[in-house]
Structure 1
Amino acid sequence: MRSVHDGAPKRSFQGRSRARALAAAGSLLAAMFVTVGLAPTAARADTTVGGCTGLISGNCVQATTGSKNFQNHTQWVGWVRSYGWGGSNGIVKLESWSSNFYFSSNVNPNDVNPYREWGAQRWVPSGSGVCSAATYTDGYRSVACITIQV
């Protein structure tokens, strides 16, 4: 008596296991490509936001922000600026900071409206302040902040 499989090539169990392993490896590789494609990387920073202190003169903070990562609740901060406005002079130091960066620079107190800019190039968590401070010759320190919201 002949079996239904007689005469036809038989597929071994080992061959089926190899096919399943290749299919699983292909799925894993595809998932890795998708994951890498969605991973947060440096983003283009194209929006400027800022805030200032003082009524007729003071200091300001500006941040050039970019993409928001809603999974990690972060936003890209490309550049941050600290500067005096309204004819401010007597500033000896400008600073800018957030949760994961800090920059400072001494400035000439005779400069009017001194300005410093730094490349933060960081993902900043939602709820974090991006701040700047101006320290004056008499020790007075003025702080301005904006808040990252994702």
Structure 2
Amino acid sequence: MFAKRDEKNRPRRTLGTAIKVTAATAAMVGASLFATAAPASATEGSCKGPFWGWFQQNVCLVADMGGKNVAARSQWVGRVEGNQGSYADPNVKMEIWGDGFYYANKGVVAVNVNKWVRDGTNICAAETEPSGWRQITCIAIHVP
């Protein structure tokens, strides 16, 4: 014969299960928020040069990088600047670009990009001399 269920214990099991499910859900949400929370910004940079024949002629890229969103495989990028380092010629074309943005100017390019960029892409800066000589440097975006 089948044993009868004890009705006194039924609400306790349901409540216990509800508590476990709620706790597990809270843990997943908390872990998700932790994974996407932006740590303090870090500035990353990359320079190429000086190049042979041109004293202190180089191209530099500086980017303020924010948090990484592991779930979306992307990283926050704030301010990006492309410059010529210690050699500053206002006639030189400077460009910066990355995942979904492109800016150009003469001398220095500094822009608040303020967007998420995808893993596996790059942020780059290029300097193009009036003679046509072009130099490029990049920072790789990597989200584990």
Q: Same fold (TM over 0.5)?
A: yes
Place the TM-score, normalised by the shorter chain, in its bin: 0.5 to 0.7
Deviation at 1:91, TM superposition (A): 4.4
Question: In the alignment, what sits opposite 1:115?
Answer: 108
| TM-score for both structures, normalised by structure 2 | 0.65
The answer for unaligned runs of 5 or more in structure 2 is 1-28, 51-55
The answer for unaligned runs of 5 or more in structure 1 is 1-33, 108-113
- Looking at CA atoms only, which structure, 1 or 2, has the larger radius of gyration? 1
Aligned CA-pair RMSD: 2.7
**Do 1:91 and 1:134's aligned partners in 2 also have CA atoms closer than 8 Å?**
no
1:48 is the counterpart of 2:43:
yes
**Do 1:91 and 1:135's aligned partners in 2 also have CA atoms closer than 8 Å?**
no
Aligned residues: 111
**Matching residue's letter, 1:74:** S
Matches within 5 A, 1:100-139: 100-105=100-105, 107=106, 114-139=107-132
Given candidates 134, 144, 149, the residue that maps to 2:137 is: 144
Task: Tell me how far apart the structure 2 counterparts of residues 45 and 65 of structure 1 sit (CA, whole Å).
Answer: 9
How much identity, in percent, do the aligned residues show? 35
Task: Tell me how far apart the structure 2 counterparts of residues 90 and 141 of structure 1 sit (CA, whole Å).
Answer: 15
**Matching residue's letter, 1:62:** V
**Matching residue's letter, 1:50:** G
Question: In the alignment, what sits opposite 2:76?
Answer: 76
Task: Tell me how far apart the structure 2 counterparts of residues 80 and 89 of structure 1 sit (CA, whole Å).
Answer: 19
Task: Tell me how far apart the structure 1 counterparts of residues 74 and 64 of structure 2 sit (CA, whole Å).
Answer: 14
**Do 1:75 and 1:126's aligned partners in 2 also have CA atoms closer than 8 Å?**
yes
The 3-state SS of whatever aligns with 1:85 is coil
Task: Tell me how far apart the structure 1 counterparts of residues 44 and 68 of structure 2 sit (CA, whole Å).
Answer: 14
Question: In the alignment, what sits opposite 1:21?
Answer: none
